[in-house]
Structure 1
Amino acid sequence: MFSVHLATILIIGTGINPARNLRATIIYNKDHAWDDYISSTHIPFFFLFFFPIVYL
């Protein structure tokens, strides 16, 4: 998780903080906000498991 956090800072300029994203998404409550929430919380975990498999 720490390495994914560091990698996303360099790529997209933000860190991983699902609690902050969830609070804003619930308050805003629009479809594209939920899409952004899912992409910001699930994609880092996907890469966390996908890249080691590709590397091997």
Structure 2
Amino acid sequence: MELGGCEMKKEQLAKELMVKWFLENKRTDVKEVLQVIISSVYEEIETKKANN
């Protein structure tokens, strides 16, 4: 995966949101958060493919 400016910003935002979510929900299950991030990224990729 090539990381351009936009993709890097999305990755940083995802990391920041994950930390915020952990703090707000007092969660410690990293797998749970990663699953949410991965599934949303997969949906975004599939949507882009369908639109092209």
**Which TM bucket (shorter chain)?**
0.3 to 0.5
Bigger relative contact order, structure 1 or 2, given CA contacts below 8 A and separation 6+? 1
Q: Could you state the TM-score of these two structures normalised by the residue count of structure 1?
A: 0.41
Q: Could you state the TM-score of these two structures normalised by the residue count of structure 2?
A: 0.42
